[in-house]
């Protein structure tokens, strides 16, 4: 299966989870491409015109995983802007994850995941699984392993 991991990561947390997921999916025999969203300049709240250095296309992927940090109790503005311009995810299996620094999912993680899932479903995706990692928790490594396991099982149909 041809799987795209499309992630936004400012400080590397989300990227590190995506790299583990990539390794796991590749070990299972899938072709996995990790694409990191990079914006032109800083993205501040209220900025409507988010520009990207390059725009990953989802067209060639059978399945896509989206990963993003939580910013201001919401999905990062860069991921929101990226998903707005995706033409369609119809017929694709999609999984989503977020990372956040605060210790509880209700401190932004749940809301960001709801936004991410809804944005993908609005483009026609079948969302097979979601997951979150609380970076400041002692259980972080266990959470990462759990999310990587769960999403690596759900994405390939």
Please pick, from the candidates 56, 108, 129, 131, the single residue that binds ligand FMN as defined by CB under 6 A.
Answer: 108
Nearer to ligand FMN, 15 or 25 (CB): 15
CA dihedral 18, 125, 155, 105 (to 10 degrees): 50
Nearer to ligand FMN, 14 or 152 (CB): 14
Stretch near ligand FMN under the rule CB under 6 A, chosen from 56-64, 66-74, 81-89, 120-128? 66-74
The answer to whether residue 72 forms part of the interface with ligand FMN (CB under 6 A) is yes
Angle at the Cα of 132 (from 129 to 133), degrees rounded to 5? Answer: 145
The DSSP bridge pattern shows strands 74-75 and 63-71 to be antiparallel
**Ramachandran sector of residue 91 (left: φ over 0; alpha: ψ -120 to 50; beta: rest):** left
Question: Distance between CA atoms of 1 and 19, rounded to whole angstroms?
Answer: 17
The answer to whether residue 100 forms part of the interface with ligand FMN (CB under 6 A) is yes
Nearer to ligand FMN, 1 or 107 (CB): 107
Nearer to ligand FMN, 28 or 111 (CB): 111
């Amino acid at each position: 299966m041809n799987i795209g991991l499309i992630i936004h990561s400012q400080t590397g947390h989300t990227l590190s989870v995506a790299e583990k997921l990539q390794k796991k999916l590749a070990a299972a025999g899938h072709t996995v491409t990790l694409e990191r969203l990079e914006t032109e300049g800083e993205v501040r709240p209220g900025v409507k015109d988010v520009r990207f250095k390059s725009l990953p296309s989802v067209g060639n992927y059978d399945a896509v995983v989206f990963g993003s940090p939580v910013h201001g109790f919401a999905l990062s503005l860069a991921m929101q802007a990226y998903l707005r311009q995706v033409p369609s995810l119809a017929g694709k299996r999609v999984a989503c994850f977020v990372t956040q620094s605060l210790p509880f999912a209700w401190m932004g993680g749940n809301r960001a995941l709801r936004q991410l899932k809804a944005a993908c479903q609005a483009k026609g995706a079948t969302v097979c699984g979601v997951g979150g990692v609380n970076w400041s928790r002692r259980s972080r490594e266990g959470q990462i392993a759990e999310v990587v396991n769960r999403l690596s099982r759900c994405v390939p149909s």
